[in-house]
């Protein structure tokens, strides 16, 4: 469950973020309220039932890989874990969860970070990338008995169609303009 999923599913108040200027704050509130207004009861129920975090094991011969999934962090969907976050913070998460691999999002910046034979991986985003590239990103994870291979895959998509859909909706054009600015750069 992502932070916006949580706000919409449970009708939580929209809290302004310090990193956003007044225009982005206003647009964010309008966009989330638009989603709250048009979402079906069935879809809202679906969002409310998404797990906050998830852990599973994958066995390769004699090795059991434990993988922890979160949106932001174990504590909050709003917490940012950047590549520059201290190794100590990640080590605490690994100790708390006994996970070998932590997979997250929320920052909209993909990375693969190895910390003492453990892995912190951010899959990036689709649509509101904070990276230089606007491409959608996802993670390809290959698990072997003695190692993992992790790769962030970038996929271009039809930004013009997305921009046109935003402009035709009640979502503020701010988000279409954001995509256009990324496409121009």
**Percent of the chain with pLDDT strictly greater than 70:** 98
**Percent of the chain with pLDDT strictly greater than 90:** 87
Short-list 8, 128, 141, 130, CA closest to 69: 141
Q: Which of 68-72, 116-120, 177-181 has the lowest mean pLDDT?
A: 177-181
pLDDT band at 184 (very low <50, low <70, confident <90, very high): low
Residue 185 has pLDDT above 60, yes or no: no
Given this model, what pLDDT does residue 126 score? 86
Tokens 């994958």, residue located: 58
Q: Which residues contact 44 (CB under 8 A, 6 or more apart)?
A: 8, 9
Scored b (16 or more CB within 10 A) or e, 52-69 reads eeeeeeeeeeeeebbbbb
CA gap 174, 177 in Å, rounded: 5
40-54 pLDDT, tens digit per residue, is 999 999 999 999 999
136-175 pLDDT, tens digit per residue, is 999 999 999 999 999 999 999 999 999 999 999 999 999 9
Given this model, what pLDDT does residue 167 score? 96
């Amino acid at each position: 469950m992502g932070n916006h999923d949580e706000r919409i599913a449970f009708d939580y108040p929209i809290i302004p973020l310090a990193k956003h200027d007044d225009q982005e704050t206003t647009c964010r509130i309008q966009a989330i309220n638009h989603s709250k207004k048009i979402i079906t009861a069935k879809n809202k129920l679906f969002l409310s039932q998404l797990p906050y975090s998830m852990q599973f094991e994958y066995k390769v011969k004699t090795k059991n890989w434990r993988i922890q999934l979160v949106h932001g962090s174990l504590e909050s969907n709003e917490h940012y874990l950047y590549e520059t976050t201290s190794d100590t913070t990640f080590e605490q998460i690994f100790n708390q969860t006994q996970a070998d691999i932590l997979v997250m999002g929320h920052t909209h910046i993909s990375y693969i970070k190895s910390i003492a034979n453990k892995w912190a991986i951010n899959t990036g985003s689709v649509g509101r990338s904070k990276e230089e590239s606007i491409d959608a990103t996802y993670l390809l994870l290959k698990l072997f008995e003695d190692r993992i291979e992790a790769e962030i895959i970038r996929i271009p998509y039809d930004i013009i169609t997305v921009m046109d859909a935003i402009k035709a909706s009640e979502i503020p054009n701010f988000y279409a303009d954001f995509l256009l600015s990324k496409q121009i750069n």
